[in-house]
Structure 1
């Protein structure tokens, strides 16, 4: 029997969470890649916010505040739960959040597949229940360079990971290699082309004659010793700073006030939230950033040497350590060490070129979103042809 809907595009459900901007950006990148192929049938859902709005808000606030108020506690929780298994008491509890909501959504929407961009895996447990009338295949897009077992479930049909090392880690815990694709982490379409032009320098008030140190404290705009770091970097007459404070308007205002009378203030440009961060990355010589998986992937796409200052324990510290082991990132513990490392790079064109070459080795041949979408659509094309018989 031939399916009447054989020629239609598959309907895909993309599940994310709003703990930081990264998971949302990854989801939008995948949705954008689908739409470029004419598939407008994807549905994005913030599952935790939809199913448990009050708990979602509380846990989001804890996550955001953990960077400044209790980073050690967050890191301890990450490390303790890192080896957690899906069938443990805690693992089962974590994956139960949103299960009833997603069961109703799947029954109503009947998607052809579900894509997870956050390790809230409520769909796989549903698939294992005998009473479940319909359970679509599930795919997981791991958004860090470190593997936390919350991402792992036997009912996940396919994993998309940032590196070959992650694929090997999954193999080590029993996930067959055929179920894992090294895709990279999906980024916005704007990162496909990164060109520095005089017009861009002018748009951001920067000079094309000096190297740019891009500083990105993160979506909440937090970075310890920010004022001292800026002061030390400005003591180097040959560079300029582009500081992106994100949505932290208080930080932006305080920084502008602090450096208003600084003799080198014209070499410090301070911005709020910028949606076109790829443009600033195209102008930069290096980046100092909070090492979230998406931001690090953006830096890799732009071939920017990465500096991480006192990375918060947890996935971000592990991300930084991984890229440091590959020669793509430098971790510093105090402002003097950090600024000396940045200046050493800026002052040595050969070192800078070699750093970019190392980072280029971490790039994937195809953009991650395209790679993931191509793989998913090809798998569903095969399923569709099989169902004709």
Structure 2
């Protein structure tokens, strides 16, 4: 029986969402194979250590995070903490090899990519979960890369990865995001149509619930008392509790914690306000959802935001008050909202997960015919 092990890391929810989408498509294509999703950070102490370091840096010292990101794009470093993380990842991969005897590994996070060694492990593939390229994803011992954007193909080829190992598939998302929506339903909440109470503006801060959502909520409560809003706070319970108190007297505001119902929420929304996680942006594109990007994290999210904006379906707000201005502009020019919706669908890869699953069923010697 064929066994596939997908290795992810729960820094935020995006990497895990991609792993889930891949598992869904792999099993739909071949239900007889076994597909395991393994979270590298499932061990509580490692998760707390990594998440605390990550959250502290991006929230309290974003300039440090930005400088570190840019520096590691052009320098190789091997500090003790990174070496320890690589050792722990490799040890886990060895354990998985011995326990599950996988036919292949799939990595949706760069941690296992850096730790992978082909001599002792089954063939492995990386699924890049950002729109830009970072050398952390580079490991010449991998058998292939499934990438989100053509620029990543060029970057990896510049690193010496042969074209036969590169596949431009987009970022895998679950099938629910691609289901059809009612024609022009995205216009209702922005144009004050009273008939559709389910329509809303969706506000998200990723799985970690970050991105200055408190200030955003406070502003929009006052600026647009007639519009409907849904805020998803992810796993940030403190933020959830705070927003519940702030909006407790408002019938047009709904506050939710981590949810598996994001496909429905996106398809019922007229507009998304979010940070620039590439997985969330890919889901929004597939759903045809115009997006305002607020406060992208320095480094990879800035690259994600720039690409989505260049494709014409996302707008960038550098300050919280720009969100109010952009919503006002879209309400005054609904044809622009319609255009953004169309451009989102044009930029989307709704079949990314299915295409990755199909490519992984093809014998190694045949894959070069379908690569970039």
What TM-score, normalized to structure 2? 0.85
Kept in 2: contact 1:103–1:126 (CA 8 A): no
Pair 237,110 (structure 1): closer, same or farther in 2 beyond 3 Å:
closer
Asked whether 1:353 is paired with 2:342, we answer no
For the residues of structure 2 that align with 1:220 and 1:47, how far apart are their CA atoms? 17
Kept in 1: contact 2:4–2:36 (CA 8 A): yes
Q: How does 1:83-162 map to 2 (within 5 A)?
A: 83-84=74-75, 89=78, 93=83, 95-121=86-112, 125-127=116-118, 129=119, 132=120, 135-162=121-148
Deviation at 1:268, TM superposition (A): 2.4
Deviation at 1:231, TM superposition (A): 3.3
Asked whether 1:14 is paired with 2:2, we answer no
Aligned to 1:44: 37
What secondary structure sits across from 2:170 in the alignment? coil
Q: Deviations over 1:339-378 (max 9, x none)?
A: 11122123312111111222222112x5111110100011
Asked whether 1:372 is paired with 2:356, we answer yes
Kept in 2: contact 1:310–1:333 (CA 8 A): yes
Q: Deviations over 1:279-324 (max 9, x none)?
A: 1111111110121121111111111122111212132222112212
Aligned to 1:3: none
Q: Deviations over 1:176-202 (max 9, x none)?
A: 22211111111123223143599xx9x
Name stretches of at least 5 consecutive residues in structure 1 with no aligned partner. 1-7, 384-389
Name stretches of at least 5 consecutive residues in structure 2 with no aligned partner. 189-193, 368-372
Pair 314,249 (structure 1): closer, same or farther in 2 beyond 3 Å:
same
What secondary structure sits across from 2:74 in the alignment? coil
Aligned to 1:387: none
Aligned to 1:363: 348
What secondary structure sits across from 1:121 in the alignment? helix
For the residues of structure 2 that align with 1:254 and 1:124, how far apart are their CA atoms? 40
For the residues of structure 1 that align with 2:55 and 2:248, how far apart are their CA atoms? 29
Aligned to 1:5: none
Deviation at 1:89, TM superposition (A): 4.0
What secondary structure sits across from 1:273 in the alignment? coil
Aligned to 1:216: 204
Aligned to 1:286: 271
Q: How does 1:175-186 map to 2 (within 5 A)?
A: 175-186=161-172
Asked whether 1:327 is paired with 2:312, we answer yes
Pair 123,377 (structure 1): closer, same or farther in 2 beyond 3 Å:
farther
Question: Which is worse superposed, 17-26 or 166-175?
Answer: 166-175
Asked whether 1:252 is paired with 2:276, we answer no
Q: Deviations over 1:187-228 (max 9, x none)?
A: 123223143599xx9xxxx96179632111222323326345
2:52 alignment partner, one of 42, 61, 73:
61
Deviation at 1:95, TM superposition (A): 4.0
Question: Which is worse superposed, 97-106 or 148-157?
Answer: 97-106
Pair 274,102 (structure 1): closer, same or farther in 2 beyond 3 Å:
closer
Q: Deviations over 1:111-135 (max 9, x none)?
A: 11111111123687522x5xx4xx3
Q: Give the count of matched residue pairs.
A: 356
